[in-house]
Amino acid sequence: MSLDGWNTLLVLGGIRSGKSEFAESLVADAATVRYVATAAGGGDDDAEWAARIAAHRERRPATWSTEETADDPRRLADVLAAARPDETLLVDDLGGWVTVLLDPGHQPADDTATVAELAAAVRDCPARLVLVSPEVGLSLVPTTPLGRAFTDALGAVNRAVADACDAVVLVVAGQPVRLKPTAPDPVPATESAPGPSVAVNGTAVPAQGGPSHARPAAPLPASPPVSAPAAPAAPAPVPAADDTGWTAPTMTLPVADTGLVIQPGMELPMPDDYAGPQAVERLATLDVPGAGLGVLEQVVSFAAATQGTPTPAPWQSVRVLLLHGDHDGGSAAGTPAGESARRAEAARAGQGVLARLAAESGASLQVVPAPTAAAIEHGPALTAEQVDAALRYGWRLAEEAVDSGVQLLVVAACGAGTEAAAAAVLAATAGAEAPAVLGRVVTADGEIDDVAWMARCAAVRDALHRTRRASRDAKDVLAQLGGGDIAVATGILLGATARRTPVLLDGPVGVAAGLVSRDLAGQARHWCMLADHGGHPAVKLASDVLGLSPLAQLRLDLGEGANALTVLPLLRSVLALAAALPPRPSPDGADATEPVETDEPEPPAETDEPDFREPEPAGPGPTSTEPAEQGTRAG
């Protein structure tokens, strides 16, 4: 079950329902977690309660820190309010917090005000927050006054906190059920024949509509033409020992014309878990002088996993998708008017850095127009309908590329204001600060424009303040902050993942799309490879969040997409070398790929002829313990 796209989440469940384990799994990937324990200790006379607390402690990783609030229930709100945006908090659980709140030692008190303070702290908490609470409202009404007071108070707390959270999940018998936000209902088919389906949250949903309202999807614009800049003849492909990677079945999902549903929880394919490690093991057997390929081994591992073979072939058919979508307002401060349009037109004409590098690499180039984003400091960048259309448009572009034989996609961008939009997405999804991820603005004369940089920071700051209580769902982030180019790029990553095709990233739009796509389908990031972060702070931070290590650190700044094309020949050379080199011969002349001999002697080969060889006469040296082996060598 995918629950990405949230910042505050409430996990409800009955006793022994698995709610705590599920909540812990949601934050397992966080670098550090602050575990907020609310329950008081049971004392020496309650061994069973002490055992429960001990079991919870044993499950927590050693990297987690623990903070207890049992002494003062009002302190929980203070802890949430003081949390930092880069923190992850797990509160377990609100039942223990209510127990302490109702304790006579903390009375008299205004419990209603305390609950309201907690709900407000949850709503405004800047950190990523998970809260666990028992769901006791489904049981019988307790027969004791104290029991009724507890269930009433806990019910009120659950309602207040659920209203303040972005998402709510109910765990029943270990199975999570999403309560908020509710999954959109599939749109009824408009044609008589049933359409294909896509797995969403483990359920087959008919793919006949993007939004949850019953309305046919708006028609998408025709795909832009694909140009092939003049380039030297491409080298012949290197044959691989096992070329099943290119012919392996792909997950063909419905494209835009059928009304594809793109929403959180899509189950897309993963790269091969075994081919990558097998390829790295194979590298150790090749006849290579020195220590081998070094960090470029990850290129071979990535290509092997995405092709499904331990002997991957170099990518011969590559397509560059240049996204041209501007961002209005302060995001584009310092960018000359018409600059992005000029670069896009130059690429169409086969001119400029990107087109020339594409020509040198034998890659095709497709300039993709994207919707212009409104000023994010004043309102949403796109409407919900524009986001859906952009996602489906990007998916279709990836589908068409793969259908034409493309083996690798490169995401490029040239829009005005892309860095600020990517910084806003990064801040909303990873808790970054705008000044820390926005690179300096450099004019055409090579001067640093601090005024423009401050205007971009202010635009991102105001946009985050405007959306501070908005949902962090993937589509909402694209609509409020991302814009058209990032939405189309997200669709490209999802479509490429569905068709088992790798994508090469190197700039802010690509990594921002990677952050958003993981909240729609967590498998997408495993099909992405980062060529070079170019020294861009947003790309460096996003790559850390996505778990992508740059293949090179040349600090190139040639424009998004151009850095990747600069590194592409090196990647191809590495794959060609790994596929063509023979195994390293062993010292005794045997193939390095043959099984290693053990100390256990092998039985002699059976033959019908007797062995008439004379034994080796003993020499002056020490007596040998291996006469059979000496005899074989002498013979």
* Catalytic residue set: 560
Q: Encode 242-258 in three state secondary structure.
A: CCHHHHCCCCCCCCHHH
Question: Which tokens belong to 600?
Answer: 């256990």
Let me know: does 353 contact 347? Beta carbons within 8 Å.
no
Whether 392 and 384 have beta carbons less than 8 Å apart is answered as: no
Termini Cα distance of the chain: 69
User: What 3-state DSSP class applies to 100?
Assistant: helix
Cβ atoms 468, 494 nearer than 8 A: no
Query: How far is Cα 33 from Cα 23, in angstroms, rounded to an integer?
Result: 12
| Count of other CB atoms within 10 angstroms of residue 597 | 11
Q: How many residues does this entry show for the chain?
A: 635
Closest Cα to residue 318, out of 282, 365, 274?
365
CA distance 333 to 456: 6
From residue 529, alpha-carbon distances to 62, 88, 177, 206, 396 in Å are: 31, 27, 34, 32, 21
DSSP 219: P
Instruction: Specify whether the CB–CB gap between 300 and 578 falls below 8 A.
Output: yes
What CA dihedral angle connects 352, 357, 362 and 368, to 10 degrees? -50
The beta strand positions in 464-607, using DSSP E, are 503-505, 528-530
One-letter amino acid of 141:
V
Round to whole Å and give the CA distance between 203 and 197.
9
Could you list the beta-strand ranges (E) of 492-556: 503-505, 528-530
CA distance 31 to 65: 11
Alpha carbons 411 and 492: distance in angstroms, whole number: 8
How many other C-beta atoms are found inside a 10 Å radius of the C-beta of residue 476? 20
CB 438 within 8 A of CB 456: yes
Per DSSP, the three-state class of 115 is helix
Q: How far apart are CA 242 and CA 560, in angstroms?
A: 34
CA–CA dist 591, 593 (Å, integer): 5
Contact 541, 548 (CB under 8 A): no
Distance from C-alpha of 319 to C-alpha of 242, rounded to nearest angstrom: 24
DSSP secondary structure letters along 46-91: -HHHHHHHHHHHHHS-TT-EEEE-TT-TTHHHHHHHT--TT-EEEE
